[in-house]
Structure 1
Amino acid sequence: MAIHRQRLPDDAVLIIGAGLAGLYLALNLKPRKAVVLAAKPVSEGAASAWAQGGVAAALAAGDSPQAHAADTVRVGAGLVDPAIAQLIAEDGPGLVRNLASLGVPFDRDAAGEFVLSREAAHSAARVARVSGDLAGKSIMEVLVARAKAADWIELAEGKALDLLTDGNGEIAGVLAATEDGLTEFTTGEVVIASGGVGGLYAVTTNPPSSRGDGLAMAARAGAVIGEAEFVQFHPTAMDIGRDPAPLATEALRGDGALLVDADGARLVDHAEGELAPRDIVARAVHRAKAAGRQPYLDARHAIGEAFPDRFPTVFSACMSAGIDPRRDLIPVAPAAHYHMGGVRADAQGAASLPGLSVCGEAACTGAHGGNRLASNSLLEAIVFARRIAERLKDSDVVSRTAQSAEAPPRLPRADLAQLREAMARHAGVERTASGLAGLLDEISAMEARTGGANPLIAARLIAASALMREESRGAHARADHPETHAEARRSAMTLAEARNAAARAA
C-alpha cells in the first residue's frame, strides 16, 4: 500500500487524541500551530465526554490545595509523587475557573459559588460538576467549539498507528490511517493524549477505542512505561449486559446511595463505607459477585424522586434498561475504568524519548500512584496539558527527518474478544502468578499468529508489570501475595523487559 507523506510546519505540534487533554493543550499552544489527530470526528469518541463526576479542586472556603494533595497521597498506596500531587492541587482551582471562563457551565449556587460534591476518599466536598453528571460532556462541548474556532489549531481525522523516529531514538512524527490511506505526518514534537486501556477488558466503562494504542506506540519506540499494572476498576458500572457498561457515577454514593445485595445486606465493611477508596469498594463488589451475591446500588432513599434532575445520564441509562432507580435497585459490577499507569512523564509532561510528550490518561506522572483519587483524572489532564503547552511554546523549534515505518498489524475481531476475556479473567480485580503467566502465554500465541498489534503490546505491558509486582497494593490485588511490602516501589518497564517478564519472574 502506498504511503502518503505530509511534512507539517516546523513549529507544529502533532497531538494524538482529541479528548480533554489534547484539546486543552492545543488551545494553550498559541502562537505555535497545533495539529490534533483524532480517529473520529473531533466531537465523537473521546472518553473525556463520558466523565460523569467532574473536576476535583480545592475551591471551597476551608479547603486547601494542601489538604487535596494530602488526600491524593494518602489514597495512592505509597506510590504518589508528593511534589506532583501538590502541583496539580495548587494549579487546580485556577484551571477550573479558566474552564468556567471559557464557557463550561459548572453548577453554581444562588451566590454564584461552585456547588461541590464529595466523592470517595476526599476529606471535603471539592468536585466541581455540571448538571449532576454531565461534566465531561459539557467540558468537551465547550473545548470542541473553541478548538474549531481557533486559527492556530488544525483538526485532522485519522487513527494513529505508530510513532516515527529519526533513527537515533528521537520522535519525528506519526504514521496514521487516514481517508487517503496510510499517511506519515512528520514533525519535531508529538504529544500522546490518546486515552486509556479499558477496551482491553471484557467489562469496561470506556469507549471501545480505548485499547492502549498510545501506550503501545510509545513502548514500541522504546519509551519507558510506568505503573502499567495499576488499572482502576470502577465499582459501580451498571451490570445490564451492555458493552461498554454504563457508569453509575460515584457521586451517587457521595449523596448517600448504598451498596447492598438482594437481601439489603451492606457489601462494604470499611470505616468510610461506600466512600472508601475505590480499590477497596471494587474488591468488595467483586467478591460479592464471585460469591453469588449480586451487588446492587440502592439510591431509592438517598436520591429518590430527584433522580431525573440530579443525575440525568444515569437515570436515562437505567430507564433504557427497564430499571427505575427511584424505585428499583441498580445492578452493578466492577469495570475497567481508568489506567493509573502509562508512558512515564516528568513534571513537564516530557516522556523518556526526545520529541515525545504525553498527557492525560496515557501518561504516568506520579499523580495517581496505585489508586487514583476520585475526579483527579480531569484535573491531571488540564494541569499537564497547560504545562506541556507552556514548555513547548518556549522551546526551540526542532526539525527531524523521519524514517519510514510499516503499519502494525490489526488484531482480528475474534482475537480481540479472546484478549478482552483473558484480561478480565487474569488481570482484573484480583490476580495470581499462574493466571498472569498464562495470560502472557496467550498473548504470545496471538502475537505469533497475528503479529504485534497495539492491543497485544498494551496488554503485555499490563500483565508483565502485574506479574513482577509480587504484593497487593492499591488497585493491584494479588490473591497469591495478599501482603503489602513495607517499601513502596514505583515500577518502570520497557517493551523489551516486558517480553522477558515470565522468565524473570521464574
Structure 2
Amino acid sequence: MLQSDVIIIGSGLAALSAAYHLCHQKKVTIITKSSWKESNSMLAQGGIAAAISEKDSWQSHYSDTLVAGCNHNNDEAVEKLVQNGITEILEWFHKGLQLDCDEEGNLCLGKEGAHEHHRIVHAGGDATGREITKFIYNLIKQSVTIVENEMAVQLLINNGSCYGVMTKKETGEIKKYIAAKTIIATGGCGAVYGHTSNAAVITGDGIAMAYRAGAEIADMEFIQFHPTMLYLDGACVGLVSEAVRGEGAYLVNQFDERIMQNVHPQEDLAPRDVVSRTIFYEMKKGNQVFLNISPIKQFETRFPSITALCREHHFDINSGKIPVAPGMHFLMGGIQTNDVGETSIKNLFAVGEAACTGVHGANRLASNSLLEGLVFGRRLAFHLVNAPFEIPFHHDETDLENISEITFVLPTKEEIQSIMSTFVGITRTEEELAHAAKWLENYKDSSSFWQFNVKNFTISEIEIINMLTVGWLITTSAMMRSESRGGHFRVDYPLCDDSNWLKRQLVRIKEEMQVGV
C-alpha cells in the first residue's frame, strides 16, 4: 500500500499541469494505464487559443467561446479561462517551450473555426499537443512518481470521502494507492464511438469510476464530432486539424461543389457541430466529402504530422483533396466540478476533459482544450497547495466486501461502438436513443449499474464495463434534453433560441471593451 499527498490518475496535459505546480511542495504520484505518451494531449494538432495579439482581446475570445457553446457555458469559468490563458501561454514560452514564431521572433497566430481573430499558437506546426506535453513531462519526471501500465479501477471511499484508488495490472495484480487528495485526469470517452480522433485507451474510465463512487456527472449528452478526419476505405484513421481550414482549405463533394456555402456565415470555419452535421448530411445523400488543400502553399512544411499520417496510409496529398468524415472528438460533459476542480465527493478532484466545469458549454470552441488543461490544472494545484491535508483514512481490507460477486456476459467493444455511432451520433431521435438505452440496459445489474468486483474481470473487460457505463450516461442524458443545442442535435426537437441572450452578451462585452474593462 503506497501513500502520497496527491494521486493524479492520467498523464495528459491537465494531469501534467497540475503535477508541475504541485510537485515541489507535495508528494505526487501519477498513475496511467498505459504509457504517459498515450493521451489525447499527445495527439492534439491544432494549437492553443489565447488573445495575445494587440488586435485581439480576452473579451473577444470570451464572446467566441460563449457563441460556440450555445449559451450553456459557465460564464465565470469562461472568463477565468480566457483571462488566465494569455499569461499562461506567455509564461510557458518564456520558460523555453518552443512555439512557432516568424523570422522576427513573434509568435505565429493561426485562425480556426468560430474564432473572430487569429489567436491560435502552435508548436511543431501541427504537433502542439505533443510538444507541450513532452516539455512539461521532462520538467517534472524527476520530481514525481510515475506509475505506468496500471489501470485505476476503483476509487477508495470512506464516509463520503476519497482516500485513494485501487489499480489493476495486466497480470491481475491489484494494488492500493493512498492519498489525502485524488485527481481524475483521465480524459474523455472517445473509444465509446467507432470513428474517433481519440487515443484507443480513452474508454471513459475516470468518469465511469467516479459515477460508481457516487460523484455528480453533468452534460454527458454534449459530444463534439470533429468534422475532418482522414477517411479511407470506410474508416476514420486520423485527425486532419481544423487549422488546415484556417489556412484556406475548404470542403467540397465529388462534384467540386463547396458544401459549406450558404450554410453558415463563417462557411468552412463555422462551429464544429455545424460543419460536422453538414458533412454528415452530404454523406447520407451518398456523396463523398473532401478537404481541398490546394490554396495552402507548402502544405507539407506547415502540416508535417498530417502529411505523415497521409503517407502512413498510402494517400497522396498531391491530389490536392483529402477525403474526410466526422469522428467523435471531445466530451463537453464529465465529472461535475467547480473552477478549482472540486467534485461532489470530498477530497476527489477532476480536471481536463474528464471534468465538467461548464467552460465549453454545449460545444467546445476550437483550441480551447489544451488551454483548459493548462489553466485549470494550475488553478487546481494552487487550490491544493493552500488546502489542509489530513491523514488519509487507512483500511486494511480489500474494499470489495459490499460489491456483488456476480459476473456478466459482456458485449465486445465493437458492438458498443456500433450502437453508439448508429443511435447516439451526430443526429439523434427519441426512437434511436430509446433503442440504444434498452440495449445498454441489458447489461444492468438488478440493483445498480455495473457495480462489480474488479477481481472478477480483466483490464479489457473493465474497459468494456466502463464503456457501457459512459455510453448509458450519454444516451440517457440525451433522452432527457428535449432540444437541439451544440453537440446534441435532436432531429425531433427544434434548435435552442439563443438570439436574445447572445445579443445581450455581445452588447455587454462591447460596452466593457469601450471602457477598458
TM-score between the two structures when normalised by the length of structure 1: 0.90
CA gap of 1:296–1:244, structure 2 versus 1, over 3 A, is closer
* Shift in alpha-carbon separation, 1:282–1:361, aligned structure 2, 3 A: same
Give the conservation status (yes or no) of the 8 Å contact 2:450–2:469: no
Aligned to 2:277: 283
Q: Comparing 97-106 with 219-228, which one deviates more in the overlay?
A: 97-106
- 2:207–2:335 Cα contact (<8 Å) kept: yes
Select the residue among 104, 108, 118 that pairs with 1:111.
104
Q: Matches of residues 384-463 of structure 1 in structure 2 within 5 Å?
A: 384-401=376-393, 404-406=398-400, 414-447=411-444, 451=450, 453-463=465-475
Q: Give SS of 2:167's match.
A: strand
* Equivalent of residue 492 in structure 2, options 480, 486, 501: 480
Contact 2:236 2:325 in 1 (8 A): no
How far did 1:317 drift? 1.2
Deviation at 1:456, TM superposition (A): 1.1
Counterpart CA distance in 1 for 2:407 and 2:48 is: 35
Counterpart residue number, 2:506: none
Q: Percent identity?
A: 34
- 5 Å matches for 1:67-86? 67-86=60-79
Partner Cα separation in structure 2 for residue 110 and residue 460 of structure 1: 51
Q: What secondary structure does 1:335 align onto?
A: strand
Q: Which residue pairs with 2:116 in the alignment?
A: 123
Q: Deviations over 1:460-483 (max 9, x none)?
A: 111111010011001100011133
Letter of the 2:3 counterpart? L
Q: Which residue of 2 aligns with 1:66?
A: 59
Corresponding position: 1:20 with 2:13: yes
For 1:26 and 1:475, locate their aligned partners in 2 and report how far apart those are by CA, in whole Å.
Answer: 31
What residue number does 1:331 align with? 323
- What letter corresponds to residue 434 of structure 1 in structure 2? E
Q: After superposition, what is the alpha-carbon deviation per residue over 1:301-324, rounded to whole angstroms, capped at 9, x for unaligned?
A: x115x1110001111111222322
Q: Which amino acid aligns with 1:470?
A: S
Change (3 A) 1:123 1:191: same
User: Does structure 1 retain, via aligned residues, the 8 Å contact 2:70–2:362?
Assistant: yes
**Does the 8 A contact of 1:429 with 1:476 survive in 2?**
yes
Alignment check: 8 A CA contact 1:175 1:405 kept: no
Long gaps (5+) in structure 1:
1-5, 490-506
Does residue 188 (structure 1) correspond to residue 180 (structure 2)? The answer is: yes
Q: Where does residue 455 of structure 2 map in the other structure?
A: none
Tell me, yes or no, if structure 1 residue 267 matches structure 2 residue 262. no
Does the 8 Å CA contact 1:133/1:312 hold for their aligned counterparts? yes
C-alpha distance in 2 between matches for 1:371 and 1:488: 19
Q: Which residue type is aligned with residue 9 of structure 2? A: I
For the residues of structure 1 that align with 2:216 and 2:473, how far apart are their CA atoms? 11
Counterpart contact for 2:410–2:443, Cα < 8 Å: no
| Residue 303 of structure 1 pairs with residue 315 of structure 2 | no
Counterpart check, 1:469 vs 2:463 = no
Give the secondary structure class of the aligned counterpart of 2:103.
Answer: coil
**TM-aligned CA distance change 1:483 to 1:348, over 3 Å:** same
Give the equivalent residue in structure 1 for 2:362. Answer: 370
What does the per-residue CA deviation read over 1:247-285, in whole Å, with 9 as the maximum and x for residues that have no partner?
000000001101110010111121101000111001001
Q: Does 1:95 align with 2:95?
A: no
Structure 2: gaps spanning 5 or more residues: 452-464, 502-517
Q: Report the equivalent of 2:229.
A: 237
Q: Structure 1 residues 28, 243: closer, same or farther in 2, change over 3 A?
A: farther
1:173 aligned partner:
164
Any idea what SS the aligned residue of 2:433 has?
helix
Indicate how the Cα distance of structure 1 residues 296 and 154 shifts in structure 2: closer, same or farther if over 3 A, else same. Answer: same
Q: Is the 8 A contact 2:166 2:175 kept in 1?
A: yes
**Would you identify which runs of 4 or more consecutive aligned residues in structure 1 move more than 6 Å?**
407-413, 486-489
| Count of residue pairs brought into register by the alignment | 476
Deviations 1:350-401 (A, max 9, x none): 1111111111000110110001000000111111100110010111112232
Q: CA deviation at 1:18?
A: 0.6
1:298–1:329 contact (8 Å) kept in structure 2: yes
Aligned match of 2:146:
155
Change (3 A) 1:241 1:358: farther
Does residue 358 (structure 1) correspond to residue 346 (structure 2)? The answer is no
Deviation at 1:112, TM superposition (A): 1.6
Aligned to 1:504: none
Judged with a 3 Å threshold, the aligned counterparts in structure 2 of structure 1 residues 451 and 244 are, in CA distance, closer, same or farther, namely farther
Residue 195 of structure 2, aligned match among 187, 193, 203:
203
